[in-house]
Amino acid sequence: MEKDRKLIIAGNWKMNKTVSESLDLIQGLLREVQQVKEVDMVVCPPFTALSEVSRKVIDTQIRLGAQNMSEQGVGAFTGEIAAEMLKEFLVRYVILGHSERRQYQEETDCLIAKKALAAHVASIKPIVCVGETLEQRESGVTNDVVGSQIKGSLAGLSSQQMLETIIAYEPVWAIGTGKTASSEQAQEVHQFIRGVLSDLHGDEIARQVRIQYGGSVKPGNARELMSQPDIDGALVGGASLDAKNFSEIILNSI
């Protein structure tokens, strides 16, 4: 059956790329994919490059995302960036709860849920990341871990906000390791996540929410992953740092 959810493919540049490197990357990418309309394409540069990249993607098919934001609106929060500040650069998406932030900044589901609400208040769509570690997978608790991350990180969202939220299933053991979940392994968890969304918001909402897969997505495995019934796009790390690789992921997914 044809999926009626539009694919969304986002590149997470992480702590890579100076401003001039970011400009090279976005220009290269625009050359390859500026005609693509079938996929929602998003790039998430570091904060320092948002302004310049924003100028380049304005009036193109590529949308801008940030890699994190504060749950607070304004005030004495040294080093933080608020949603309204991101909006100045026409940021439409924000990655929240990436496993690197859960691990190194000790972000909790509760904090991520506050950030997701703050993003919605500013009309920025959150891309909320969940995923199990290798140890958790091997001890058979993947669904328990992912189910509890979904419930905790999306707590308090209305059904309308849920529709405007993207979930990224990223098994921690597949991020930056070159190990991809097989398309069957990924599909199994995506289907499980849709079931949890259905328990929370009903079948109709669950059917419409887009769930990305992330973890060593490359031009060679994108098509098979995207052809799974519950996989609606990709969150791409390493391969998004190269215009040719990222554009091939997009083009191979159509």
Interaction site with ligand PEP (CB under 6 A): 12, 170, 175-176, 214-217, 235-239
For β-strands 39-44 and 7-12, DSSP reports them as parallel
Residues 6+ away with beta carbon under 8 Å from 151: 109, 196, 200
Task: Say which of 71, 98, 120, 132 is annotated catalytic.
Answer: 98
> Is-catalytic flag, 98?
yes
Nearest residue (CB) to ligand PEP, 13 versus 206: 13
> Is-catalytic flag, 120?
no
- SS3 at position 214: strand
Largest CA distance in the chain: 51
Q: How far is the CB of 240 from ligand PEP (least distance, A)?
A: 7
Interior/surface letters 84-121, b for 16+ CB within 10 angstroms, e for the rest: ebbeebebbbbbbbbbbbbeeeebebebbbbbbbbbbe
Nearest residue (CB) to ligand PEP, 161 versus 212: 212
Residue nearest to ligand PEP (CB): 237
Give 65's DSSP letter. Answer: E
Task: Say which of 71, 100, 170, 248 is annotated catalytic.
Answer: 170
Q: How far is the CB of 189 from ligand PEP (least distance, A)?
A: 14
Nearest residue (CB) to ligand PEP, 92 versus 195: 92
- Active site (catalytic) residues: 98, 170
